[in-house]
A and B are shown apart, each in its own frame.
Chain A
């Protein structure tokens, strides 16, 4: 099973990289963008085959190391 983890700064925490990218898009005349958030994606190949167990395990990984929950949110997708 593959787990795709998306980590991004929490809403309310200023995302300077997102802001810079937004500014760049604006300079390139892409005017239809309201907001940009930059995050990172971590892809894990798991040995676990049970979805619930995999979700529980990856959630633990996110809380312990993959994300810093003081400033970041995470979303897990299993495929």
Chain B
């Protein structure tokens, strides 16, 4: 299992992501954004979190024009598996690989804390180790995590089971920290090979750090 992790100027979660996947037995390679191709043996491409290009203009807006993004788009179109975490999610929406957009949190504050999420659809490789309705405890750390999509887009997401995770309380009741439409924390594309979420599963790998619920999430990719 080979995980390729993208690194833009300003990315800061690439090593956490590497640590997380290596702890699950995967081999990782960090690829600088100037690369024009991806390692041929890539089984999973991760766009890691951080602040690519300082979030200038909009989060993820400039990263989408990095040389490597052409290769990422081709890889995704061919069915390659792509996971965008936090800023990676923002990059994937800006690049048009995932629908919708992420805007400033409703409360205008940067939010950094553990949050419970409910698994909405597990009929995809990312969440197949979990059951629908399961509650996971995963850290969030973002300023622009307020997911927006118009009503027609939301209906599409619902219909195609593309909503992966919603922000809830520990009992599974909606609890929305940032104003996201329908309390959405993560989605996938129609073909279910491109995944994006604002929470950080790679930071929930060890109980001593507060939660190991990220293990079951990331393990989904290893099984496939």
Contact = CB atoms under 8 A, between A and B. Distances in A.
A16 B57 contact: no
A70 B179 contact: no
Nearest to A13: B148
Interface of A: 9, 13-14, 16-17, 20, 65-66, 68, 70-71
A68 B101 contact: yes
B192 interface: no
B104 A71 contact: no
A16 B144 CA distance: 12
B106 interface: yes
Interface string B15-36: 0000000000000000000000
B57 A65 contact: yes
A36 B146 CA distance: 20
Main secondary structure, interface of B, reads loop
10 contacts: A9-B103, A16-B106, A16-B146, A17-B104, A17-B108, A68-B58, A68-B61, A68-B94, A70-B100, A71-B101
Interface residues of B toward A: which range? 10 to 19
B54 interface: no
Nearest to B94: A68
Contact of B108 (A16, A65, A68, A71): A16
B148 A70 contact: yes
A13 B57 contact: no
A71 B148 contact: yes
B189 interface: no
A16 B61 contact: no
Nearest to A70: B101
Given A13-B148, A14-B179, A65 B107 contact: no
B110 interface: no
B179 A66 contact: no
B11 interface: no
Contacts of B58: 68
B106 to A, nearest CB: 5
Contact of B107 (A13, A16, A68, A71): A16
Nearest to B65: A65
A16 B104 contact: yes
Given A14-B179, A17-B108, 17 more contacts: A9-B103, A13-B103, A13-B148, A16-B105, A16-B106, A16-B107, A16-B108, A16-B179, A17-B104, A20-B108, A65-B57, A65-B65, A66-B57, A68-B94, A70-B93, A70-B149, A71-B101
